A = this chain, B = another copy of it.
Amino acid sequence: MATSSARTKVVLRRHIRRAGVLRVVQPRAEATRDALLDAGRRLLNERDFDAMSIADLAAANALSVGSFYGRFRDKEAYFALLQEMVTSEWTEATLRDFDVRRLAGWSAGRIVRLVTTQVVNVYRNDRGFISAALRHASTHPGAWTPLKRAGARFANVVTALLAPRLTHLPRMARAARVRFAMQLLYGMLINAVLNDPGPLNLDDPRLEKELARALSAYLGLRPR
């Protein structure tokens, strides 16, 4: 299994041509670029995008502000790349874990439990990044961000898996039900990450179970 740093490199290679990510020739520039991206991901667990200054990012690696701008056109270009990087990791995990053939014999209820567990874990592990990306996106209404894209993609995967299993519902209603259920799940977790509300916060071990219960009930599945 690849380490986190090596994984960064593999995923990153796909997005390197992005406008605003400046050309790298020497290995040290590549190392600088990667170190800045890793630092960003870490720092976003402590503060949001606006509160994370270029000076913070540079200092996290004993680098200068000028060297940041030698690698990224500006702060926005940097963040766009970071978002692509992180959400691409998620998408890879999704394709692996939610393969239609792999889950062929699974019941709807069991899939709902897998979905809630997976999504809650993503939000738990990357809460800082998600929070920052959400806050940043909310100042650009209408923007189709990597985060939104990843969320929509996953909802599509889940809909394709679950809708055919909701045989007790009219055929026309199945996909819409699953999509709304996903909207409930995302809403719940987005609120958890942004506002840390009660009664169950993101770290509460009961959260997955209660979410699965709610979604299953809404989808009309037998309680287990």
Contact = CB atoms under 8 A, between A and B. Distances in A.
A3 interface: no
Interface stretch (A17-25, A89-97, A100-108, A182-190): A182-190
17 contacts: A48-B138, A135-B135, A141-B196, A179-B198, A179-B199, A180-B199, A180-B210, A180-B214, A181-B214, A183-B188, A183-B191, A183-B197, A183-B199, A184-B188, A187-B189, A187-B192, A190-B191
A194 B190 contact: yes
Interface in A91-134: 131, 134
B188 A176 contact: no
Interface residues of A, number: 40
Which of A137, A184, A192 is the most central at the interface, judged by chain B CB atoms within 10 Å of its CB? Answer: A184
Interface of A: 48, 50-51, 131, 134-135, 137-139, 141-142, 148, 151-152, 176, 179-181, 183-184, 186-192, 194-200, 210, 213-214, 217-218, 220
Given A137-B195, A176-B199, 4 more contacts: A134-B195, A184-B188, A188-B188, A190-B191
A196 B134 CA distance: 12
Q: Which 10 A-B pairs have the closest CB atoms?
A: A187-B191, A187-B188, A187-B187, A217-B217, A179-B199, A214-B218, A217-B218, A190-B191, A138-B194, A180-B210
